[in-house]
Amino acid sequence: MTFKKYPMYFIPAMVLGLSFIGLIIFLFLPRSQPHNYPPEPFTPIKELMLWSQNLKSDFGSSKQAAEIEENVPTFSNIASSFESHALIENRYPGIAVFDFDRDGDMDFYVTSAEITALFQITRGGTNKFFENLENNEFAEIGSKTNTELAAQNSSAVAACDFNNDGFQDLYVGGHGRIGDGLDYRSIDNNPNSLEASLDRLLINSGTGIFEDVTAQAFGESANLRSTMSISCADVNNDGWIDIFVGNRADQDFVRFDDARHHGHYNNLYLNNGDLTFTDITLESGLLSPQIKMLDENLQPIIFSTSEGDIFEGFDPSLMDGNNRLVGDPAGQTWASMFFDYDDDNDQDLWIADDGDVLKIYRNDSSPEKVLFTPVAEEMGLDVSGQWMGFALGDYDSDSDLDVFITNMGFHRLKSPKPIPPGGDCAYSSQYGWGTCFHFMLRNDGNGVFTNVAAEIPVEHSDVLPPESLEPGFISSDWTLPEGIETFEFGFGAAFVDTENDGDEDLYWVGSLVSRGEGPGGGFAPAAGRLLQNQNGIFRDSTVEAKLLDILAVDYSNLSNAESNESLTKRRLGLQFHENGKGVAVGDLNSDGFTDLIVTNSNGETFDSEGNRNAESGPLFVWINSGSSNNWIKFKLKGRMAIDSTGSNADGVGAKILVSYNASDGQEFTQVKPVLSSASFLSTSSTELIFGLANANEIKEIIVYWPSGIKQVVGPLQINTTHEIVESE
C-alpha cells in the first residue's frame, strides 16, 4: 500500500493548528500509567514516615552523616556569563561535551531549533558551540566552526571520532517540523522540509572547521526525522565507530491511538572505514516487535487499513510513496546506550522507549555478519514504561556496572487501582492509570540484573521531600513507593562522583507536570536530584549542593513559606522553568572534579497568578567546587589513531579498573566505562575521573580495550591526567 502524497501548499492551516494544540495538550496532560505494585509488604504512610525519620535520626547523629554533609560540594552556574547564549529555544536541546581542538580542556555543543520554524514555541536560533578559554570562560564559536545548522530543527547530538584521526566529530539529529507531513523513508511529499528534518554528520578537520559530509556518508539512507538518541560504538570490533540512531514517533501524531500514527525506524549504520555508512538495521535484527495497544477497558485497539486489512496496534507493513517501509513501532526512543552487559567483549545495545518495553539486544556478531538478538524478555526486563534516560555506573562498588533508568511518570493523587490491573505504564496513557517509577538495575553478574530501586535506602531532604511521601497523596489502594521510587519524573541522568570519595553519586534532571489547569489545578514539581552515595546509602543533597534546576533561587530562604523562593512555590514565577532535558558531564576547568551541564526545553512557565508565559529554556553550566579528596583522570588512545590496528581512536567501549588502598589499608576497586551517549539527547566526555578519597597511591590499573587487549598500567601519579595508549 502507499500513502497519498499532498503538495506542501495543501496542508490546511486548521490541520497545523490542531497539530500544535495536540502537541501542547500532550505535553501538559498527566501521563500516568498502570503499575503493578508488589502485593506485600504494604507500608502505611505513617509507618513509612516513621521509618524515614528514624533513618534520618540514626544517620544524622552519626559521624558518617556529618561527614556526608561536610563533603557535599557546591555547584555554581556560570551560564549567566554566556549572556543571550544561555537561553536555548528548543523543545529538545541536546549537549555534547568533548575537546574539539585537542588543547586539553573540554568544550561543549548545544542544539537549538530552526530559526524559521512555523510556530514561535518551536522557533529557535543557531546551535551553540562553546570553546573553553580556561578560567571558566567560554566563547561561542558556532559561526566560526560551521556548526550552527540554522535551518535544521536540531535535537540529539553525539561527539565521536568516526574517521580515527584523533579529532571527535559531530552527529547532529534533526527533529523535523510540526505539520510537515513527511514520511520517514521519503521526502517526496515535502522536499522543502529536508533542511529541518535531516540528520547531519559534521567531520572535524582538526583546523577548527567542521565539514558537512552527510550526503556522501549516507546517500539515500540518511536518517530523516525525528532523532532523539544517538549512540556510538564499534559493533563488529573492526576499529571503526558505528552509529545507532533512536527516533521518536512523529510529533504530528503523538498518541498511540490512531491508525495514522506510525513509529519510526531506529537505524544502525555500519562504518565502512571511508566516511561512508551502510544502513544494516533490518539485517542486524534491530526491527522492533509490533506494538499492541490497550484501551481504557484493557482491550486491544484494533485498526483497519484502507484495503480492509485488520491488525492490532501498528501495521509493520506500511509503505511510503516509494514503496519503502515507513517505520516500525519503535515507540519514542529517548535514550540508548551500547554496554557490554555480559562481559563477552562486544557491545550490546540497550534502548529506552517512551510507551514501550525496555529493549535489550545481545550482540551476537561474527566477522561475517552483525547480528543482535533481543533478550530483554529472557532477562525479565521487558517492562513497559515511559523510559527517558540511562546512567551507567557501579553504585554498589562491587566492580561491575549497574544501570539507572529515569521514567517520566508521577504518583497518582488518590487514584484507585484499575481492575483488572494493567501492565506497568501501558500504552494507553491518556486513561490516567498508575505511575512509572525510576529503575535501578543492580548487576548481579552473568547477565543478571535486578531492579532494586525500592530497596535502596534514601535519606530525604527536609526542604525538598518527595511529594509522594505526603499524607494522603496516594490512594490507600496503592502500596507506597520506597527508596528511589519515591522520586518523580526524570530525563537526562548520570552517575558522577561529585566529591571524589570513590562512591558513585546519582544525578538526574527533573521537570514539571500539571495535574490540572495552571497552578490552581495542582502540580507535580519534580526537581532534578543529586543523591549522594555513601556506601550504598543515598542522601538527597540537591539543595546543599545548589543544584536546583530552576532559576534565581535564594538557597538561604528555601524553607520560608512566605518567600517566593520557598520550596512550596518553587515552580511558580517567571524565574522558574518547567522542562529539564539533557544532562552531560565532564571536567570543564580541568581541576579533577566533574562538572554538570543541563538543558531545559523552551515552553510555558506560570507566574504567581497562574498566567502562562512563553520562556526560553535556561542552560545550566554547573562548576563543581570540589573537595580535598584525591583523584586520577584518564584519556584513552586506541591504536586505530596510530597505525590503523586495534581499538577505535577514543577507546569507546573500553573499561578501566583502578585498585588502590585507603589510608586505613582497606582495598578498593572501581570500574568505569568509556561511553559515547546514554543520557537523554546528550553525550558526556570520554575522559574518566576516578575519585580516590584519601588514597595516596594506585595499586593497579587495568584497561580492557574493545580489541580484546588487556593492558596493565602503572603505577601512575595521582591528581593528574594521564593518556593511555593501547599496547601493540
Look at phi and psi of residue 323 and say left if phi exceeds 0, alpha if psi is from -120 to 50, else beta.
Answer: left
pLDDT at residue 669, rounded to an integer: 94
Range with the poorest average pLDDT among 3-12, 493-502, 707-716: 3-12
Tens of pLDDT along 532-576?
A: 999 889 999 998 999 987 766 778 777 666 665 555 554 433 344
Asked whether the beta carbons of 439 and 404 are under 8 A apart, the reply is yes
Q: Is the dihedral of CA 622, 623, 627, 629 positive or negative?
A: positive
Residue 183 φ/ψ, nearest 5 degrees: -75, 155
Range with the poorest average pLDDT among 62-66, 527-531, 642-646, 660-664: 62-66
pLDDT at residue 363, rounded to an integer: 98
Mean pLDDT over 303-311 rounds to 62
CA atoms of 386 and 126, how far apart (whole Å): 30
pLDDT at residue 659, rounded to an integer: 95
Q: What three-state secondary structure class fits 160? A: strand
Q: Which residues pair with 210 in a beta bridge?
A: 204
Q: Is the pLDDT of residue 91 over 60?
A: yes
**Predicted confidence band of residue 517 (pLDDT cuts 50, 70, 90):** very low
Range with the poorest average pLDDT among 186-195, 604-613, 646-655: 604-613
Q: What three-state secondary structure class fits 275? A: coil
pLDDT at residue 30, rounded to an integer: 32
Q: Residues 6 or more apart from 317 whose CB is under 8 A from it?
A: 1, 325
Largest CA distance in the chain: 75
More confident residue, 462 or 471: 462
Tens of pLDDT along 472-498?
A: 666 666 667 889 988 878 899 999 999
**Predicted confidence band of residue 290 (pLDDT cuts 50, 70, 90):** low
Mean pLDDT over 199-226 rounds to 93
Q: Is 430 exposed, middle or buried (0-12, 13-18, 19+ CB in 10 A)?
A: middle
In degrees, rounded to 5, the angle at the alpha carbon of residue 416 between the alpha carbons of residues 414 and 418 is 150
Q: Read off the pTM.
A: 0.84
Tens of pLDDT along 135-179?
A: 999 999 999 999 999 989 999 999 999 999 999 999 999 987 766
Look at phi and psi of residue 556 and say left if phi exceeds 0, alpha if psi is from -120 to 50, else beta.
Answer: alpha
**Radius of gyration (Cα) for the chain, nearest Å?**
24
Which of these, 160, 154, 153, 163, lies nearest to 96 by C-alpha position?
Answer: 160
Which of these, 277, 332, 265, lies nearest to 160 by C-alpha position?
Answer: 277
Q: Is the pLDDT of residue 298 over 60?
A: no
Asked whether the beta carbons of 399 and 359 are under 8 A apart, the reply is no
Q: What three-state secondary structure class fits 138? A: strand
More confident residue, 708 or 356: 708
pLDDT at residue 412, rounded to an integer: 53
Q: Is the pLDDT of residue 53 over 50?
A: no
CA atoms of 157 and 111, how far apart (whole Å): 7
pLDDT at residue 591, rounded to an integer: 96
pLDDT at residue 475, rounded to an integer: 61
pLDDT at residue 44, rounded to an integer: 26
> Could you write out the DSSP letters of every residue in 214-267?
HHHHHGGG--BS-EEEEEEE-TTSSS--EEEEEEPPPTTS-SSS-TT------E
CA atoms of 292 and 308, how far apart (whole Å): 19
Mean pLDDT over 351-361 rounds to 85
More confident residue, 255 or 190: 190
Cα 494 vs. chain centroid, distance in angstroms? Answer: 8
Range with the poorest average pLDDT among 25-39, 134-148, 433-447: 25-39
More confident residue, 308 or 31: 308
Strand (E) or helix (H) holding 59: helix 45-60
pLDDT at residue 688, rounded to an integer: 97
pLDDT at residue 137, rounded to an integer: 95
More confident residue, 298 or 207: 207
**Predicted confidence band of residue 15 (pLDDT cuts 50, 70, 90):** very low
Q: What is the mean pLDDT of the chain?
A: 77
pLDDT at residue 418, rounded to an integer: 46
